[in-house]
């Protein structure tokens, strides 16, 4: 295998867009006992226009007159929290990466006895009836083909909370089951960036003898578009996407997006989704520093990124919140327009784990806690610190036993 060079790989380190200090759009949360109707009635006395309801967290997004101050909003009887509905860039293109270790080189080191006791062997080649070229190295590294003898994720609903999905792609169309556009609700959730389509392919591209396959190639894929073509989005759009996932009974959601700062409203949305039974798999971040939000929240399964030599990717965020590690360097997957592209980032590591979570659900894990337990129980340490790898790299064959 030739060494892969990456050009324009997507990193998900969030950089804040300029926000108008006089911006009037707010997320207003009401007390648990208050009804949305009563809460809205109080806000309308301030001359606001309600733009969106967020019943998952008993909140609304509202546009207020320019001079309205937060204390005025807080004075409304049912209001318990107010925050700016910030718009930021959640995914960012990075400079071309240096040459990366190939899978063949890593395998040769293992066969030669190097790293003995640290790096578990790569799984065996897929069965003869499978096309080895259809199995990307990351899907192979987590031993997905061994799990397919038991389940491929059929019947499991996975929401891709991202830039949308190119659901016309030949490798995604058979598994696409619907979706929602939180950015422009009247429009379909079609990807206009590429990031979401790449993520979707890692989770569940179909196994059909051509193109490439995802970790859970029979899972049902749902596009939840919360980001624009530029990768930007409001906090409220992401909360709306989580809300849609809960309302439509997603088993698993993948969120390959992140920011250095959290949001009280988003924290409540993550907590509510977890309580509702949604397994939340999230990219840790690409700033080589602490785990980003929302992956930092304890309900999330935060995923760091490894390379083909089972080392942590230099860009990967790390910290005590990491649950598992997954392949995230030079990952080939589907791309908008019907093509394929190799990208790097914890954006690519997380969907490997979302696919594994789908296999766990198909194997009987019923709650987010059970899915987390199945993933960590099937993980193997690869010689990194706990803050880098969490429980380690998941072996799908152990996941479905």
Residue 316 falls in the annotated catalytic set: no
The C-alpha angle 162, 372, 358, rounded to 5 degrees, equals 55
Which residues fall within 8 angstroms of residue 82, CB to CB, at 6 or more apart?
26, 27, 28, 29, 70, 73, 74
Q: CA distances (Å), 93 to each of 156, 199, 221, 343, 384, in order? A: 31, 15, 25, 10, 27
Residue in 144, 347, 363, 397 annotated catalytic: 347
Distance, CA of 16 to chain centre = 19
Residue 169 falls in the annotated catalytic set: no
Between CA 256 and CA 183 the distance in angstroms is 17
Between CA 310 and CA 218 the distance in angstroms is 27
Partners of residue 261 on adjacent β-strands: none
Using DSSP bridges, classify how beta strands 322-327 and 252-255 pair: parallel, antiparallel or unpaired.
unpaired
Three-state DSSP class for residue 106: helix
Residue 287 falls in the annotated catalytic set: no
Which 3-state string (H, E, C) describes 189-250? CCCCCCHHHHHHHHHHCCCCCCCCCCCCCCCEEEEEECCCCCCEEEHHHHHHHHHHHHHCCC
Residue in 102, 169, 171, 195 annotated catalytic: 195
Residue in 102, 144, 152, 162 annotated catalytic: 162
Q: Could you list the active site residues?
A: 162, 195, 347
């Amino acid at each position: 295998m030739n060494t892969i060079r990456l050009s324009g790989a997507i990193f998900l380190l969030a950089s804040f867009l300029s926000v108008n200090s006089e911006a009037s759009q707010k997320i207003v949360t009401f007390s648990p006992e208050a009804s949305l109707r009563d809460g809205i009635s109080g806000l309308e006395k301030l001359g606001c226009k309600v733009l969106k309801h967020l019943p998952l967290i008993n909140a609304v997004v509202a546009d207020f007159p320019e001079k309205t101050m937060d204390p005025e909003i807080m004075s409304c009887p049912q209001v318990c929290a107010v925050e700016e509905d910030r718009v930021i860039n959640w995914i960012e293109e990075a400079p071309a990466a240096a040459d990366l270790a190939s899978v063949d080189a890593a395998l040769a080191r293992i066969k030669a006895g190097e790293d003995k006791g640290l790096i578990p062997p790569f799984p065996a080649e897929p069965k003869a009836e499978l096309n080895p070229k259809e199995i990307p190295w990351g899907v192979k590294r987590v031993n997905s083909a061994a799990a397919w003898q038991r389940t491929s994720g059929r019947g499991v609903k996975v929401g891709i909370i991202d830039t949308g999905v190119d659901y016309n792609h030949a490798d995604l169309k058979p598994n696409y089951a619907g979706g929602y556009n939180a950015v422009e609700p009247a429009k379909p959730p079609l990807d206009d960036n590429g990031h979401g389509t790449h993520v979707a392919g890692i989770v569940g591209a179909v196994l059909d003898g051509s193109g490439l396959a995802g970790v859970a190639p029979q899972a049902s894929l749902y596009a939840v578009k919360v980001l624009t073509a530029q990768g930007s989005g409001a906090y409220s759009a992401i909360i709306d996407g989580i809300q849609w996932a809960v309302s439509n009974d997603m088993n698993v959601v993948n969120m390959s997006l992140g920011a250095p700062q959290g949001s009280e409203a988003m924290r409540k949305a993550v907590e509510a989704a977890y309580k509702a039974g949604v397994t939340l798999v999230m990219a840790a971040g690409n700033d080589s520093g602490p785990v980003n939000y929302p992956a930092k929240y304890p309900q999330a399964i935060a995923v760091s990124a490894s390379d083909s030599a089972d080392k942590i990717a230099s860009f990967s965020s790390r910290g005590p919140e990491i649950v598992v590690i997954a392949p995230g360097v030079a990952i080939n997957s589907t791309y908008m327009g019907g093509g394929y592209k190799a990208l790097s980032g914890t954006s690519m590591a997380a969907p490997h784990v979302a696919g594994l979570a789908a296999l766990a659900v198909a194997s009987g894990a019923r709650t987010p806690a059970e899915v987390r337990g199945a993933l960590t129980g099937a993980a193997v340490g690869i010689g990194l610190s706990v803050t880098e790898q969490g429980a380690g790299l998941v072996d799908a064959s152990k996941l479905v036993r």
